[in-house]
Amino acid sequence: MKTEAINIERSTNMSYLNRITKSNPDLIMEMITIYLEQTPILISGMKKAMQDQDWDSLHAVAHRMIPSFLIIGISSEYELMTKKIQKYSGSSEDSIEIEMMVEKVITVCENACKELEEEYNTLKTPTHE
């Protein structure tokens, strides 16, 4: 089924991180740690801004999220969504679409956190003595 196929698709892609770090596990782990520290704060910020209809904060959080998508390999489709969220000024005609996009962006970031936690644990565990 199509939905199952979407569910098993990964949200992240490590190729950019592998390229810039030359696959150095310590550097990759350092980058993952930074992502895992800053992203939950941004997710909460985005949820709160949407709830409070605080468009300045929504703009600021979306702006802050954008560069990380490239680094951890989140699809550019979500980058475009986040840019749309960033541009949103609170006009009522777009509000439902924006709310849906916010939900999608939050979901992809939450999935990314789970995947990167797994990646971190795999890197931390030595494969051979």
Residues that bind other proteins (CB under 8 A): 16, 20-22, 27, 30-31, 34-35, 37-38, 45, 59-61, 63-64, 66-68, 70-71
CB closer to other proteins out of 76 and 127: 76
The minimum distance between CB 89 and other proteins, in angstroms, equals 15
Dist. CA 117–CA 96, nearest whole Å: 32
User: Of 92 and 105, which CB lies nearer to other proteins in the complex structure?
Assistant: 105
Q: Which is nearer to other proteins, 22 or 128 (CB)?
A: 22
Output the smallest distance, CB 100 to other proteins, in A: 22
Token representation of residue 112 = 């990314």
Nearer to other proteins, 7 or 51 (CB): 51
Q: Are 36 and 120 in contact (CB under 8 A)?
A: yes
**Nearest distance in Å: CB 56, other proteins:** 8
Cβ atoms within 10 Å of 129's Cβ, excluding its own: 3
**H-assigned helices in the chain:** 2-8, 15-21, 25-52, 55-72, 76-87, 95-124
Give the residue among 103, 113, 53 at the shortest CA–CA distance from 82.
103
Q: Which two tokens stand for residue 72?
A: 């951890």
